[in-house]
Amino acid sequence: MRWLIFIMAMVLTGCSSETSEEMESRQGRPDQESFGVTIILSNEGIMRAKVKSGHLEKYNEKEFVLLDSNVTVDFFDENER
């Protein structure tokens, strides 16, 4: 019986009611971020454009992608030239 009381006391004292610190708000911050990005755009398996960017930020809720820092775009014809 003493062991049962001891175990119950240990279990109850092991629980705490401390609240965890609030997480930092991510509002306004990108969901994904990449550096040195190359994006290939194609249509029916034919490359139409190659986009290179030094930095990419993707915002899911806004359905928005920001490309900045040395962005270059190369367009291709149906022969991928």
Residue 73 CA to residue 36 CA, distance in Å, equals 14
Radius of gyration of the chain (CA): 27
pTM, to two decimals: 0.60
Among 74, 42, 33, 39, residue whose Cα is nearest residue 53: 39
- Note the pLDDT of residue 10: 72
| H or E stretch covering 79 | none
Per-residue pLDDT tens digits for 34-72: 999 999 999 999 999 999 999 999 999 889 999 998 999
